[in-house]
Amino acid sequence: MTDPPNSKSAIITGITGQDGSYLTEMLIEKGYTVHGIIRRSSITARPRLDHLTLDPEVYGTRLFLHYADLDDATSIRRIIFKIHPDEVYHLAGQSHVGASFEIPESTCEFTAMGTLRLLELLRDMDPAPKFLNVGSSEIFGHPDDAPQDEDTKMNPVNPYGVAKAFAVQTTRIYRDSFGLFCCNAIAYNHESPRRSKSFVTRKITNAVARIAAGKQDHVSLGNLEVERDWGFAGDYVKAMWLAMQHEEPKDYIVATGTLTPLKRFLEIAFAHAGIDDWQPHVKIDPRYFRPAEPTRLVGNAQRAKDLLGWGPSVNLQQLVTMMVDADKSQSKRRDD
């Protein structure tokens, strides 16, 4: 059920991504007018938003898209000042850790400097919109403690983590020094059927669906000895919204608190497709190894639970089966 329009408006950077699409759906359901900032690029397909942009009751009335790049302060400024939203959700940035080793400069330009530019701009607004930056567990890299909480020292081990650490800390500085309503959602890995196939979870579930259908024989992966705290993206955008509704701006760890080996993810995904032994279907390809891996990234979301009443609603088994099922039906439809 969608609420009637209310007077609230939000800007979302990174609206075409996995989180952007879930957050947009949620805000529209809550009666918001949503403005998405999108990058000019030669790729115009926005499959994660199609169900909204093709709906005439939504697109152009409750949802608007605007072109601007995070490295172009004048165009961002023009849009944000014109809309003067109540809330800004900053989700954009180069989001792939592996790629950040190949393109460290642009990763920092978008993720670190892009955040600073937005904050600088909000400082000049009266009243300043509330601001939420999506941080990452990668800021902790090799943490002193596990699980991590909002006070754990940052110790990133890759360019992506460094850029996110800059963004998280800068957000804190603008809150503490300028009194802006700025929050960080320090989000651990969050997945869904909308996750890009360059991330290991979706790469696996997509391959499993195709292997089960006899369309391919194996999947090539990198380091299988890794572990992650994986949650469902639809749950994580709820935490982002709740953080913005709390009376005080704060940082929140958004995580499930469960550390899962990648091999366990493989096991569940293949088993759900009726394949008991995944090993013959996985080949190791050194191309997918990274120069460094983080360790023991598992979050303690107690503050989000206590202050926001937030908790994950989807466990790992449900997440993996949701993704495999979605890939199976997509693979059937597209016959690719």
Which residues of the shown chain bind ligand GDP in the complex (CB under 6 A)? 97-98, 189, 198-201, 203, 221-223, 226, 228, 262, 288, 290, 293
Active site residue 293: no
Classify residue 281 as exposed, middle or buried by CB count within 10 Å of its CB (0-12, 13-18, 19+). Answer: middle
Active site residue 138: yes
Q: Which of 22, 89, 160, 188 is catalytic?
A: 160
Asked if residues 35 and 66 have their Cβ atoms less than 8 Å apart, the reply is yes
Which residue, 329, 132, 312, 328, is CA-closest to 234?
Answer: 312
Shortest distance, position 254 Cβ to ligand GDP, whole Å: 14
Return the SS3 of 138. Answer: helix
Q: Which of 138, 150, 191, 227 is catalytic?
A: 138
User: Which residues share a beta bridge with 49?
Assistant: none
- Residues ≥6 apart with Cβ < 8 Å to 44: none
Query: Whose Cβ is closer to ligand GDP: residue 287's or residue 334's?
Result: 287
Classify residue 102 as exposed, middle or buried by CB count within 10 Å of its CB (0-12, 13-18, 19+). Answer: exposed
What is the DSSP code (8-state) at residue 154?
Answer: P
Query: Whose Cβ is closer to ligand GDP: residue 109's or residue 293's?
Result: 293
Query: Whose Cβ is closer to ligand GDP: residue 182's or residue 268's?
Result: 268
Shortest distance, position 202 Cβ to ligand GDP, whole Å: 8
Return the SS3 of 67. Answer: strand
180 vs 97: CA distance, rounded Å: 29
Active site residue 57: no
Q: Which of 95, 100, 136, 137 is catalytic?
A: 136
Which residue, 226, 231, 189, 214, is CA-closest to 273?
Answer: 214
Query: Whose Cβ is closer to ligand GDP: residue 225's or residue 248's?
Result: 225
Shortest distance, position 286 Cβ to ligand GDP, whole Å: 11
- Residue 195 — left, alpha, or beta (φ > 0 → left; ψ -120 to 50 → alpha)? beta
Shortest distance, position 265 Cβ to ligand GDP, whole Å: 9
Query: Whose Cβ is closer to ligand GDP: residue 77's or residue 203's?
Result: 203
Shortest distance, position 16 Cβ to ligand GDP, whole Å: 18
- Supply the residues annotated as catalytic: 136, 138, 160
